Amino acid sequence: MNIIDIIVKTKRKEKLSREEITWMIDSYVEGIIPDYQISAWLMAVCFNSLSEEETFYLTEAMRDSGDKLDLSGVDGVTVDKHSTGGIGDKTSLIIAPVCAACGLRVPKMSGRGLGFTGGTIDKLESIEGFRVNVDFEDYINIINKNGAAIIAQSGHLVPADKKLYALRDVTGTVDSIPLICSSIMSKKLATGADCILLDVKTGSGAFMKTAEDAQKLAELMVKVGKSCNKKCCAVITDMNEPLGNAVGNSLEVIEACEILSGRQKDRLYDLCMILSANMLELGGFGNYDSCLEMAKEKIENGQALEKLADMIEAQGGNRNTVYDSSLFAQPQYSLEIKSDSDGFISQINSEEIGMSALMTGAGRKSKEDTIDFTAGIVLNRHVGDAVKKGDVLMTLYSSTVTDLSFAGERALNAVCIQSEKVTVGNVLINTIK
């Protein structure tokens, strides 16, 4: 086979065979095909897309490019969840213990954050002693004992995606739905869960800016999952403002504990109950409505919070952290951001809030950067809320940035205030099964 022929076929909108796609991916991973030729093919995909069949073949080839996890040692049905990312998205920290308390097995391999997006692994590392690097045998044992484990991605899983994503990032070829689908689904399929729930975000703080694009991506990912004999479901959810109140690592863990304790019930709580119910339904625990009630009950009776404590303890952290937020490192500096007018909040630009949090030290601008786990932003107001001039909209925190005024100015500019109250839409936009 010849990579030039493959590039030309995609350029001419001619379909590639499974053999051609598999050969191309294997040859690229082995270093036979150079970056510049794969870059040309990726650009052709961005212009002309891929058929559903070609996307299936690409996902399979990427999945099979490295190791695949065998979760047969887990006692029970396993369900994994993937979110396409968003500002303040700490749902994994909430739904894993909720579902585990119901008897579901939740094996979760998560990533670190880069830029304004937060990583679940970074959040968990804000808990002193918490081990994100766990060998496979311990991983299985923790899941069997506690129902859930969240660890860092490790081993030789999907090397094709690592190479392709790095190339897409520097060649302007990230925004292709088939390429996004194959990147996400190859990793989810390689990690071995029986069922997959996909949380596809849309809005200002999401990669999919429109509900239409989110719908296309969600539908395609569900089809790919089912083509590989996985039970799969997707929910399309709103990310037009940060999710919850906290943006930042320890701040988000503390907020997750507030949700699990039953003290905070808002859009974040609603979303986590929706996700938990869908995961339980995929796992065969009943219909959606009964699973929703089951998830809520585990928060009300305290079992979900106890499960998080168990998970933290099993991975080397102090279980008392979930009950006492003072056990986290405390920020040294803070700055209140106040409203400069009366009115109603009509918009909070999630991406700008994320960039402001990055300026406090809560994220990485490059992979080598060190995160300040105490840094971030806590929002006091949300879209639809009435505010008066001088009201505190949010507070910025840091232990490394002494002058938070620049981050504060950017955060303030992310908030739009108008004279008339706006209607706040539902956090759930659609479900694809």
**Cα dihedral sign, 118-126-337-405:** negative
Exactly one of 81, 108, 168, 410 is catalytic; name it: 168
Exactly one of 105, 108, 163, 187 is catalytic; name it: 187
Q: Can 216 be counted among the known catalytic residues?
A: no
Q: Phi first, then psi: give them for residue 105, nearest 5 degrees.
A: -100, 125
Exactly one of 81, 82, 123, 188 is catalytic; name it: 82
In sequence order, what E strands does 161-278 have?
195-202, 231-238, 246-247
CB 74 within 8 A of CB 103: no
* Closest to 118 (Cα-Cα) out of 397, 387, 375: 375
Give the tokens for residue 220.
């395609």
| Burial (CB count within 10 angstroms: exposed 0-12, middle 13-18, buried 19+), residue 36 | exposed
Q: Can 366 be counted among the known catalytic residues?
A: no
* Closest to 242 (Cα-Cα) out of 364, 117, 337: 117
Q: Can 183 be counted among the known catalytic residues?
A: yes
- Would you put residue 275 in left (φ > 0), alpha (ψ -120 to 50) or beta? alpha
Residue 60 Cα distances to 174, 355, 389, 426, angstroms: 19, 35, 55, 35
Give the tokens for residue 228.
């590989």
Q: Can 82 be counted among the known catalytic residues?
A: yes
Exactly one of 80, 161, 199, 372 is catalytic; name it: 161
Report the C-alpha gap between 8 and 3 in whole angstroms. Answer: 9
CB 305 within 8 A of CB 97: yes
Exactly one of 83, 126, 183, 398 is catalytic; name it: 183
Report the C-alpha gap between 84 and 393 in whole angstroms. Answer: 27
* Closest to 373 (Cα-Cα) out of 250, 283, 287, 271: 250
Catalytic residues: 82, 161, 168, 183, 187
